[in-house]
Structure 1
Amino acid sequence: MAAASTISSGKNRIASRRPFQEVGPRPYLPSLRTSSANPSSRSHGDRFIPDRSSMDFDMAYYLLTESRKEKENKATASPSREAYRKLLAENLFKNRTRILSFKSKLPEPAGGVLQEVCSCSTSSNQSKLARQQRYIPQSAEKTLDAPELMDDYYLNLLDWGSSNVLSIALWNTVYLWDASTGSTSELVTVDEDNGPVTSVSWAPDGRHIALGLNSSDIQLWDSSSGRMLRTLRGVHQSRVGSLAWNNNILTTGGMDGKIVNNDVRIRSHVVQTYRGHQQEVCGLKWSGSGQQLASGGNDNLLHIWDISMSSSNAVPGQRQWLHRFEDHMAAVKALAWCPFQSNLLASGGGSGDQCIKFWNTHTGACLSSINTGSQVCSLLWNKHERELLSSHGSTQNQLTLWKYPSMVKIAELTGHTSRVLFMAQSPEGCTVASAAGDETLRFWNVFGAPEAAKPAAKTSKTGAFSSFNHIR
């Protein structure tokens, strides 16, 4: 068996060799043993005795005399050739210690410029390496109870304002959590006829907040004074599950499929109405420029509306949207405009779709699509890196951090025991709050600290809401 193994292992070198098989005819080789006239006297031992009759005397003579001829040829070489070789050898001997050395000493840098450049370069490289290898905690920094949080995919019950206050709707009550102090306060508990609260959204000033109700009403509140400023009625015929601000314009989306722009400064607040969805509008997001609005619905449709195409008197059946995408195979709730490319939109589909898609909203092209393997509930872009965070439903109920545009997974954050319905990002963009059907609110340091923190803008008590006291 050992012999068979050896032969088998050598079949790459001698492909035709097989154990216990004939190799084939051998080429003729002259005998290397002494010949004898008597065949019976030939020995078959293991001694090696050359057979002079088979040696090549011509070859042997050539090998013995060749080296002597070379020496004779060298002796008769031309004098100029020898002089050149001698000069070359002398120069090589003199200069061999100066190979890769300066002719004169390198001058010292004036004012340490070279050191400064090297220092800056090293610091930059270290900073870049640190960003690439930043530590992402796999567990939540803080977990808070959120009892009676509605486990409804189509609602939007969490938002983080520019004044660093987080708002969350727990059935009929809206709570405010101040991230600077860690204190919690109750903003309002709506009555049973209007509740529960189906959406919350902070105004850009971080002081005023809009609430969408199950009764189809929209309430505007001043969080600093705890006073309701006004109620918008008659905008929708059923619950208002999505809200989005564009300066002084509050855009509302309802179960009736309508999208309405409301100017909160004026008495007749309805200024535009968008019609295109056949079912509940569950996602609304304005672009950073305020020129385009993205809307997603339970009808699996994604619309891009341009403010230049809006009209206060829309004709039924008239096309109002800039783009209409029908690529998702389930409800489209998760929407996020890219902070570093104004015309790039990310959208996520529900449990029957499970895909994140990227759109060029200028051309209407779908740039890429990736199947995440589970329901996509919400999306957030990293403000400091080219990364996207998504939250998901079963089976893992996780948050996934992706590198854009390769969509390579950077991290998966687990801890929730039910689908992660809502996410909100802190004003500086470092921390993410997630709320899930398990009635917990978790805080994740997933995006890391920015390179240079910018001072928070001072909020003004005047502006879009200065005329509220004069509205009856």
Structure 2
Amino acid sequence: MAQFGFENDLQSILKLDAPITNVPTARWQRKSSSPDAPASDGLSPRKSVTASRESSMRQTGNTDDATILRIGGKPVNAPEGYQNNLKVLYSQSVTPASVRKTRYISSTPDRILDAPELRNDFYLNLLDWSSRNVLAVALHNSVYLWNASQGDIILLMKLEREEDYVSSLSWTKEGSYLAIGTSDCNVQLWDVENQKRLRSMAGHTARVGSLSWNEHVLSSGSRSGHIQHHDVRVAEHHICTLTSHSQEVCGLQWSPDGRYLASGGNDNLVYVWPRVQQGSVSNARQSVCSWSEHQGAVKALAWCPWQPNILASGGGTSDRHIRTWNVNSKSCLTSFDTQSQISSLVFVPNYKELVSAHGYAHNNVVIWKYPSLTKVAELNGHKDRVLSLTLNPDKSTIATMAGDETIRLWKSFELDPTKKRGLAISASSLIHQSIR
């Protein structure tokens, strides 16, 4: 009998439909019975609802039908005249991940082109990208064209003598014609569409290592230190000769507005020349300004497309500095030591950045924010010094040429930053193609 009595007592204790005695008073009951309890408002606990729900559970004795939490339905409106006294002390709008934009710069090139017999000469300019998306490359005594849109490669020309070599390249603005400087002191002009040489212009006494176009005027720089202007429309093409450099002219760039020609030489000097005016050839022989701050050869020259009066120059191994100049005030704006030989510079308008190509000792490419010259990214992969770089027509990709006989294409400046990154392309899975 004692056993049955114990079971009845246990069942009585476990019953949920009967009030539990001899337990501490619930917290909500203590607060409601307190004389200074605050009045109920929209931010207080729902005491009345809780009490009525518990009372309902006691009356029915059915816990299965009791609604503990109801999801759905319309929210209860706040009482009339209700005011929220809470104040926002700090807030920050969060941009959804789908809208947030971050720029990704791949550490591996988009494509690699093999360039056998590439001449590893710091002072030459053997790479140029046309406005029609055709990349011109000089390999020893030949010039090859790679159509970046279609992937086709053609041999444009080859010098007759094996000992001669191509020393410079430059496209016209329209991309229809290509100027070619050679080691035998000549400048050739080619019609690319018809693969036909239009003329060969003599006049230099040493190899032609640099070229630059300004409409119908072609400027050529020689190892002799001389710069010649050619009017390619007429038979008597020679306009005038500039003779201020004492050593090889390895850098030559016309400004985007056609007002100035910048020249850099192995004599560590930078000159800025005025545009050749009709009937005033004598004035063209006088430089607008010159700078001697560099302590090494100046091959790298670049004009800022959104500030036509700003010129950037880079020095060789003994200098290693990027310097920017204001042609109007004739002053140096910035001077920055890159700790590496500078072979080429180009401004990229898509992100207002400056890109530099380097030889000893880093053999890499660096993207800088302009004008602060804070480093954005480094592009590594070349096994020898980077000799030249050039920008494609839509300003999204640069091509770099190095002494390791490769040309690498870096798609670092696309304007759509929301493009999926995907996984980084491994070097073994890159698209390899021979330029010839």
Q: TM-score, normalised by structure 1?
A: 0.67
The answer to whether the 8 A contact 1:301-1:328 is kept is yes
CA deviations 1:340-398 (Å, max 9, x no partner) are 11111110000000000000011110001000000001011112112111010122211
**Structure 1 stretches lacking a partner, 5+ long:** 1-93, 102-121, 452-472
Provide the rounded CA distance (Å) in 1 between the counterparts of 2:395 and 2:209.
25
Which structure has the higher relative contact order (CA within 8 Å, separation 6+)? 2
The amino acid of 2:126's aligned partner reads L
Q: Taking structure 1 as reference, are residues 363 and 213 closer, same or farther at Cα in structure 2, changes over 3 Å only?
A: same
User: Aligned to 2:177, which of 194, 204, 208?
Assistant: 208
Q: Could you say which residue in structure 1 is the equivalent of 2:83?
A: 97
The amino acid of 2:129's aligned partner reads W
User: Aligned to 1:196, which of 165, 176, 197?
Assistant: 165
Shift, 1:329, TM fit: 0.2
Q: Taking structure 1 as reference, are residues 387 and 312 closer, same or farther at Cα in structure 2, changes over 3 Å only?
A: same
SS at match of 2:83: helix
Q: Could you say which residue in structure 1 is the equivalent of 2:309?
A: 343
CA deviations 1:1-58 (Å, max 9, x no partner) are xxxxxxxxxxxxxxxxxxxxxxxxxxxxxxxxxxxxxxxxxxxxxxxxxxxxxxxxxx
| 1:243 matched to 2:229 | no
| 1:264 matched to 2:232 | yes
Provide the rounded CA distance (Å) in 2 between the counterparts of 1:136 and 1:386.
15
Identity %: 45
The answer to whether the 8 A contact 2:142-2:155 is kept is yes
Provide the rounded CA distance (Å) in 1 between the counterparts of 2:242 and 2:165.
25
Provide the rounded CA distance (Å) in 2 between the counterparts of 1:231 and 1:450.
44
Provide the rounded CA distance (Å) in 1 between the counterparts of 2:158 and 2:294.
37
The answer to whether the 8 A contact 1:194-1:217 is kept is no
The answer to whether the 8 A contact 2:241-2:285 is kept is no
Provide the rounded CA distance (Å) in 1 between the counterparts of 2:173 and 2:210.
16
Q: Could you say which residue in structure 2 is the equivalent of 1:381?
A: 347
Q: Could you say which residue in structure 2 is the equivalent of 1:28?
A: none
The answer to whether the 8 A contact 1:430-1:450 is kept is no
The answer to whether the 8 A contact 1:432-1:445 is kept is yes
Q: Could you say which residue in structure 1 is the equivalent of 2:253?
A: 285
**How many residues align structurally?**
332
More helix by share: 1
The amino acid of 1:333's aligned partner reads K
Shift, 1:307, TM fit: 1.6
Q: Could you say which residue in structure 2 is the equivalent of 1:390?
A: 356
The amino acid of 1:161's aligned partner reads S
The answer to whether the 8 A contact 2:164-2:184 is kept is yes
Q: What is the aligned-residue RMSD (CA, Å)?
A: 2.4
Shift, 1:309, TM fit: 7.6
Q: Could you say which residue in structure 1 is the equivalent of 2:71?
A: none
SS at match of 1:97: coil
The answer to whether the 8 A contact 2:168-2:211 is kept is yes
Alignment of 1:70-469 (within 5 A): 97=83, 130=101, 133-192=102-161, 195-234=164-203, 236-307=204-275, 314=282, 320-449=286-415
SS at match of 2:350: coil
Q: Taking structure 1 as reference, are residues 259 and 207 closer, same or farther at Cα in structure 2, changes over 3 Å only?
A: same
**Structure 2 stretches lacking a partner, 5+ long:** 1-79, 88-94, 418-436
Provide the rounded CA distance (Å) in 2 between the counterparts of 1:343 and 1:444.
28
Provide the rounded CA distance (Å) in 2 between the counterparts of 1:247 and 1:173.
26
Q: TM-score, normalised by structure 2?
A: 0.72
